[in-house]
Every structure is written in C-alpha cells, then in structure tokens.
Amino acid sequence: MTPGRAASPMVEPDHHESGAAILVALVAALLLSAVGLGLVSMSNTERAIAANFGAAHHGWLAADAALARALVDVRRAASPDSLLSGPSASAFADATLTPAAPWGGTLDLAALSAGLQARSDAESGWNPNAPRWRLLISGPFSRLAPAGGWDPAIYVVAWVGDDLSETDGDPLADANQTVMLVAMALGPFGARHTIAATVAAGNGVRVLSWHDMR
C-alpha cells in the first residue's frame, strides 16, 4: 500500500436491485408474450370471420343459382300441373335420393323434403291448399355453374309446390298459373341457405316475390 493513500473500500453488490431488475424483465417478457398471443388470436378470429362470411355469400349465390335453374324447368313445363303432380322432370337431377355430398358422406334428399314439408305444414296450418312439395332439381353446384371462385363443396336442391293463394282445395292441381319454389344450397358443417319464391307460370315466367328462409 502506498503511504499516505487510503485504501478504496470494496463495493458490495446490491442483491435487492438485481432481483428487482430480473422481476421487471420477467414482467416485461410476460406482457410482450401476452400482446403477441392477443395479436395472433385477433388475426385467427378475423380469418374465421372472413371465411364464414365468404361461405355464407357463396351459399346465397348458390341458392340463387338453384332458383334460376328451377325457373328454367317451370318455363319448359307443359303446364304447372305437370310440375306439381305430372310427368315433368328436370334434366338437372341426381338419379338417387342419397347422393354423395361434395364434402364427403351422403345426403338424404327424402329427409330434406320431409323436413321442408313439416315446416310448411306447421306454418300454413290446416289449409287444403297448403303446398305438397315435389323435389325438382338436385345436384352438386359444380355441375350447375363453373367454379371460378365459387365454393365447389356445395350441393343444391329445389322443390316446387302450389301457392297458398289457391282456392281449389287441391295442392296437386293448379288453378291460377302460379307456383312456389324453394331453393336450397347445402355446404359442409351443416351450412345451409334457402330462398323461396312465388312464380307466375303462365305466358312466360315471372318471379312475383321471393325471400330468404331462416
């Protein structure tokens, strides 16, 4: 030791400050991790919303296309009676009531028809003119129109029935040149979009009214 110079005291590390710094770093890391997870979750949610919106939009377009195809058969029919109970048949129709679904598995068209009939009966109540729905068209949407950005995993069906304004008491016979159509687009995971229309079938085909069925 040099004479006349005092020795420098040794500085002991402050363990409290070191622990606080580590704790702050851990909290910051956790916050950053939470923010990152939140952004990922938000991105996934936005993608899911966009996918659902796209699927719903495709379903609506496919149901509308099925309705347009059913109108072709109404126009070609010899008479509305031939649609309701006669020999008229569509060229766009599967040969089976249990066709393969575009997304896998099979569909039960007879069950779909029965479900539509049950709903219709419940809504119209006891009415001798309540429609008796007849399956008119059925098939994969890919056979109905080019894909071109459309979802190919869609199956379309449409039914024809007499309209409720009839007064003849016979749902299988037409007295006013007017019929009803119900078009449905089916997709994977139970996706479904349905449109109903009232159509004037005499002297050309005119859509008198239509609405979405919920």
17 SS3 class? helix
Q: Does residue 53 form part of some domain?
A: yes
- The answer to whether residue 180 sits within a structural domain is yes
15, part of any domain: no
Domain residues for 200? 49-213
**Per the structure, how many domains does the chain have?**
1
Q: Is residue 36 part of a domain?
A: no
**pLDDT value, residue 125:** 82
Predicted local distance difference test score (pLDDT) of residue 88: 76
pLDDT in tens, 155-199: 999 999 999 888 888 999 998 999 999 999 999 989 999 999 999
Residue 40: inside a domain = no
pLDDT: which is higher, 38 or 127: 127
Sheet with 206-213, strands from edge to edge, namely 134-140, 155-162, 178-186, 192-200, 206-213
